[in-house]
Structure 1
Amino acid sequence: MTGLLLVAAGGAVGAAARFMLDGAVRTRSHGPFPWGTFTVNVLGSLAIGVVAGLVLFGGFEDGDVASWRLALATGLCGGFTTFSTAMVETVRLARSNRVRVALISTVGTLAATVVAVAAGIAVVGLLT
């Protein structure tokens, strides 16, 4: 039951933060590219990379690893990032004859999020 509460609390905070950041980015961006969703997915991937780095390099106390991972990685980062919205936006772009933007969005998001996770892990590795 504790795990469920940790995931729920982290997810609530992450989803609210995603809503706020996505909205702020959308109001400042122009054109068809989904910059808000791209931004939250890259930042969330960087954050989950940091959490993974802390787990890998021992930044958490052994007894706290599972709790921290549930609250931060599964809950907070899971609630913050949004693969499903990215895919809906890709389909929306493709259906409006913006296939090139749809492909750039999909490939760019996948590449940037993998790089962000690796960067998060690497930064923690350098600092520990």
Structure 2
Amino acid sequence: MTTRAAHLTPSLILLVGLGGAVGTGARYALTSAAPVADGGWPTATFVENLLGAFLLGLLLESLVRRGPESSGIRRLRLTLGTGVLGGFTTFSTLAIEVERLGAAGHVGTALAYALASVVLGFLTALAGVLLGARLHERRLARRARSDDSAGSGRALEGSQ
């Protein structure tokens, strides 16, 4: 069975768009709650991008640990990853903020903000991946304990 490309599937495009609207709305709310002073650190964008990187790492690791991508997992990945988190994070605003800080003479802040965003973005995405892997291992261990205790119960019933 051939899977149709996501960008050619109207229902998947709709899911990405709906997810994007949710993510963009959340980003707007956070940005509105934390305005930036002239020459100040763009806290809202910084938090949005780091939180988004962490959640994307967690989401993708959790989904890949479930095995081959089913149509349901594909919809979830596209809705939450591409849609919600794609709308919530914003590289373009990061780039504009770095340019504006530099143009206003706040070169040190611009460089620190750019570097911190990239380095910490990578590290928070990695933390999300590691958490996703850890949660998966815990789920497997819980399942193994549950299977062991169910097997022990059946063995006791058979011996009576």
Structure 1: 5+ residue stretches without partners: none
| TM-superposed deviation, 1:65 | 1.7
Report the equivalent of 2:83.
Answer: 75
Question: Quick check: which has more Rg, 1 or 2?
Answer: 2
- Partner amino acid, structure 2, of 1:21: L
Q: Is the partner of 1:97 in helix, strand or coil? A: coil
Match of 1:53 in 2: 61
Aligned residue type for 1:12: A
Structure 1: how far apart are the matches of 2:129 and 2:31?
Answer: 24
Q: Is 1:6 matched with 2:15? A: yes
- After superposing the two structures, state which structure 1 stretch, 117-126 or 57-66, moved more: 57-66
Unaligned stretches of 5+ in structure 2? 1-9, 137-160
Q: TM-score, normalised by structure 1?
A: 0.91
TM-score w.r.t. the length of structure 2 is: 0.74
* 1:110 match: 118
Query: Which structure carries more relative contact order (alpha carbon 8 Å, separation 6+)?
Result: 1
Aligned length: 127
Letter matched to residue 95 of structure 2: M
Q: Which residue of 1 aligns with 2:47?
A: 39
- Alignment partners' CA distance in 2, 1:69 and 1:102: 33
SS in 2 for 1:26: coil
> Stretches of 4+ moved more than 6 A in 1?
none
1:83-102 equivalences under 5 Å are 83-102=91-110
Alpha-carbon distance in 1 for matches of 2:67, 2:86: 21
SS of the residue 2:35 aligns to: helix
**Cα shift at 1:30:** 8.8
Preserved CA contact (<8 Å) 1:22 1:39: no
Q: Say if 1:54 and 1:60, in contact at 8 Å, map to a contact too.
A: no
